[in-house]
Amino acid sequence: MDFATLIGLVGALMLIASAVILGVSPDVFLNPASLLIVVGGSLLVVLAKFSFPQFLDAFKVAARAFKFKLPETQASIEELVEIAQIARKEGVLGLEGRELSSPFLAQGIQMLVDGQTADTIKQLLNKERLMTLDHNRSGAKVFSALADVAPAMGMIGTLIGLVQMLSNMEDPKSIGPAMAVALLTTLYGAMIATMIASPIADKLSLRMTEEARMQSLYIDALVAIQEGTNPRIIEQMLSSYLPPKERAKNGEAEAAGG
């Protein structure tokens, strides 16, 4: 579970809810017509921008903003170095049936066991990586579009409410409901865009970058293993994927050990 996403979104919603509850009656913030315009209208406009599969799949992908776990980079490097050592001592057949931390890595190991060349492994896994990128990018685009559309639909609702209000100025009872629609649609649109759609889109983009980076690490390691590179050289090569602080820390540890 990604607690940063959960705490951020739930915390923001709770703050808004507290402000509503501590103010006037919460009922005044609920307006079916405003919800219909903003929520329904926004979803339909976003649907018009994408295909049905892309639209529906985006809401499945959105779960990755809340629950998504990649192996730690350092742990992955250690795992890959161990795999390289086994392949060097026992051959790639010694890797068959080994439990691995990632389905992507398992796919690459199976290619090693099947005797694929380094070029073939790199080509096939890069294609898989690009497909994963496209899948994640599509989900992020849907929520980015929702973040753009929701405030616009809120403005449309505001204009509808103002038109209704101005066309019935002789009836004082109609002014209040029309003004409520005008103001609440703006509020709903801003909340959907700022507190839901935009954070999820940004988090999915972050997930996309993190996963692509980890897959690149796996590809580099697997190609090096197939080419028979020394495990120690592989470890040094993969250390470039570590954050600068961890890289410096590992360098100090190696110097102390040497």
Amino acid making up residue 193: A
H or E element in which residue 118 lies:
helix 118-167
Whole-structure pTM value: 0.78
Provide the b/e sequence for 16-54 (b: ≥16 CB within 10 Å): eeeeeeeeeeeeebebebbeebbeebbbebbeeebeeeb
Residue 128 has pLDDT above 80, yes or no: yes
Residue 210 near residue 70, CB atoms below 8 Å: yes
Model pLDDT for residues 17-74, shown as the tens digit of each residue: 888 787 767 777 888 888 888 999 999 999 999 999 999 988 888 887 777 777 888 8
- What mean pLDDT comes out for the span 138-158? 92
Q: What is the dihedral of CA 232, 234, 238, 239, to 10 degrees?
A: 20
- What mean pLDDT comes out for the span 149-158? 92
Residue scoring higher pLDDT (208 or 64): 208
Average pLDDT, the chain: 85
Strands (E), 160-234: none
Distance in angstroms (rounded) separating the CA atoms of residues 234 and 83: 11
Residue scoring higher pLDDT (174 or 195): 195
Residue 166 has pLDDT above 50, yes or no: yes
Residue 83 near residue 109, CB atoms below 8 Å: yes
Distance in angstroms (rounded) separating the CA atoms of residues 137 and 126: 16
- What mean pLDDT comes out for the span 201-220? 90
Residue 143 near residue 222, CB atoms below 8 Å: no
Residue scoring higher pLDDT (219 or 98): 219
Whole-number Cα distances in Å, 156 to 37, 58, 113, 169, 188: 8, 25, 60, 20, 12
- What pLDDT is stored for residue 255 in this prediction? 47
Helices 172-191 and 118-167: angle between axes, nearest 10 degrees = 170
- What pLDDT is stored for residue 1 in this prediction? 64
| Rg, Å, the chain Cα set | 26
Q: Which of 250, 252, 211, 237 is nearest to 81 (CA)?
A: 237
Residue 254 has pLDDT above 60, yes or no: no
Residue 252 has pLDDT above 70, yes or no: no
- What pLDDT is stored for residue 215 in this prediction? 92
For the record, the structure tokens of 61 come out as 């992908």
Whole-number Cα distances in Å, 138 to 49, 56, 126, 132, 145: 12, 11, 18, 10, 11
- What mean pLDDT comes out for the span 110-123? 91
